[in-house]
Amino acid sequence: MTETKSTATKKKSSSKKNTTRKKTLVIVESPAKAKTIEKYLGSSYVVRASMGHLIDLPKSRIAIDEDNDFEPDYITVRGRTKLLKELEAEAKKSKAVLLASDNDREGEAIAWHLKEDFEKKFDVPISRIVFNEITPQVIKQAVENPQSIDDAKVDAQKARRVLDRLVGYKLSPLLWKKVKNGVSAGRVQSVALRLICERETEVENFIPEEYWTADGKFSHKKSSFVASLVQIDGKNPSLKNEAEAKAVIDALLKQKFTCTDIKETDKSIKPKPPLTTSKLQQMAANRLGFTSKRTMQIAQQLYEGVLVGSRRVGLITYMRTDSVRISPVAIEDVRNFIAENYPDALPEKPIEYSTKKNAQDAHEAIRPTYSSYTPEMLKSSLTSEQLKLYSLIWESFLSCQMVNAVSKTYSIEISAENNMVFKASSTKLVKKGFYSVQKLLLPKEEKAANLPNLNIGDEVSVVNFVNEQHFTQGPARFSDASIVKLLEEKGIGRPSTYAPTISLLLERYYVTRSNKQLIPTVLGKKINEILTEYFSDIVNVDFTAQVENQLDLVEAKEEKWNSILKEFYPPFKEKLENLMTNLESMKGSLDEVTDEVCEKCGLPMVKKLGKYGYFLACSGFPGCRNSKSIPICKCPRPGCNGFVVKRSSKGRRKEFYGCTLYPVCDFLSNYKPTNIPCPKCGQPLVEKFNKKDGAFKSCINPKCDYLHTQGEE
């Protein structure tokens, strides 16, 4: 009886155990994405986040075996052991593991590392799933069609990682020894720095040239209009100074003016292709004033999913792509939406766009996951910044599948008896086409001139003439938008690297951002000077683009991953060893002795360049460690003996300026004060900038209305 009872108990226990269903573990990269996907897949799945790379090269050493085909020595990333163990425990008790990291080289490497780690410790089926958007149907389809890890993509990531490690970890020590502690160099960042420095040289060397224009105000019957001088004796006018401009006006006085030409032209305007990463960053910078980093952060949030009502929804497709390809499902969806809401703007067949030759094409273009999710509908679900960026993406995608817009330009020529010709034109939209869906992306149209209906031969009257002085404009400094555009055109980096490259240059204080312009610092110029002199073959646009092409060949299984390194490393190593021995040290060359005296020990203070700019430090260091910010001007508060210095804090995004006697004096300004006193009230002028006036100076005193432009100094 006892044996029978025992057997029955075992059977019961076994039966209970078998009823406990094992779940499938899905591993993604971010927690937000995990929440969205877990809701889509239901109770049979557990979704966890790896939070990026868990296994990678260590930071403390180079970890590349140069004598063994450049094999990397991977370790668990410091601080990530606990998370890795949690994922291992979850994987061990699961019936299967689906690795769902991003569908790019970095994501493939994350998946490969996790697979390698799990397979060493336990036996569980492991597969890879990829998707371009986080919607229920796409996620379920990916789960139903698991695949193997793409080893070629992993090899391409490995080649890139090892190459960048060799360049960074070999070049940086040279810079520490010869220039300044704490500085660094990198394969892509150093080329971007070179481009910014070269543009700065062009800006500094540019000498503006004066020129003048002449406009005439004319009238016909009850209408008046303005026309610009466009021809003198059949040639473009070239008025170099005020005297020449005045001579032209004098020659026009007492002349008769008649209409000698009328033209009406229609122009068909095509919609732009759907967005790639670089185009999204450029558009967000130009239209919304977002930095590349901020654009990608917000796009990531939209991709991973936000709460729309009670439901978490991934609103856009993957935001790191260089392809303009659109899936057939998305084409059908958008055409149905256009047919219902903008029937006059629906083309007969879908519009196709060709992707450039060197695009990886792993992902579609950036688009909304559902055309029916309009910006208006999502207003209450998104933050202000999310709504703006989503609107750009939505408008761009909808418009790319709509018919052309048509504009009509009406232009007239007014000629004087002495063969001087004036021209005026007016353009208006006669067919909205794809503009029907655009609000944020609608061109900033200038006020169209109201031109009278004239006939050739009609005489017009002169109201007056106006001369205006101008100066030729030099090359513009790079902004986030323009440097991203150039990096893409030159084939430097990939969609995933544009924003991090700019951020790294700013963090290293090689570049500062002022009025959305990227300006190299003294330190950035010095680093670039050394790198371009001694490593011009590495900080070279062609070399960097060539590396990207070789990585593409590795991913296409046409080249071995370490062949790039075998070709690059030997001459690089030889040059490094030579410079480490023979290059003269430049340490301290950026320091400058000042008249300021250290209040602690009485020794002179030295102006030194630190990570975040110049500061004052005691020349008695390390015996005296006194340091402080460089005073900009006297504090404008009445009775205060303090000075204004640049400050920063964790709670504020931007730099600000405050008094050295804080908290006794709470003076604070968002604008940089100068030593120039206001001629009206005597308080300091501050530097300001706006699109209309550019850079100018105005009084810091809110009760004073003095505006001081640079031209008045």
Is residue 211 among the annotated active site residues? no
How far is 138 from 125, CA to CA, in rounded Å?
A: 22
Rounded-to-10 torsion of CA 499, 502, 504, 505: 180
**Looking at the chain, how many residues does it have?**
713
- DSSP H or E segment with residue 292: helix 292-304
Left, alpha or beta for 221 (phi > 0: left; psi -120 to 50: alpha)? left
**Spacing of C-alpha 90 from chain mean position:** 37
User: Is 259:456 a contact under the CB 8 Å cutoff?
Assistant: yes
| Euclidean distance between CA atoms 41 and 100, whole angstroms | 13
Q: Which two tokens stand for residue 276?
A: 């790639």
Catalytic residue from among 74, 318, 342, 373:
318
Find, among 118, 136, 320, 324, the residue nearest to 127 by Cα.
118
Write the DSSP string, 9-65. HHHHHHHHHHTS---EEEEES-HHHHHHHHHHH-TTEEEEE--S-SEE--SSS--EE
State phi, psi for 17 to the nearest 5 degrees. -65, -40
Helix 105-121 crosses helix 81-92 at what angle (to 10 degrees)? 60
DSSP type of residue 260: E
Q: How far apart are the first and last CA of the chain?
A: 109
Q: Which amino acid is at 303?
A: Y
Report the Cα 402 to chain-centroid distance in Å: 28
Q: For the chain, give the longest Cα–Cα distance.
A: 130
Q: Please, what is the Cα angle at 617 between 596 and 591, to 5 degrees?
A: 90
Q: Contact 177/584 with Cβ under 8 angstroms? A: no
Contact status, residue 302 vs residue 315, Cβ threshold 8 Å? yes
Q: What is the 3-state secondary structure (H, E, C) of 500-526?
A: HHHHHHHHCCCEEEECCEEEECHHHHH
274/353 Cα distance (integer angstroms): 8
Q: How far apart are CA 525 and CA 172, in angstroms?
A: 16
Residue type, position 697, single letter: K
Per the listing, tokens 């001629």 go with 679
In degrees to the nearest 10, what's the CA dihedral of 523, 525, 529, 530? 20
**Coil, helix or strand for 414?**
strand
Structure tokens at 681: 């009230």
Q: Retrieve residue 580's tokens.
A: 């480490």
Any bridge partners for residue 669, and if so which? 657
Residues tagged active-site? 318
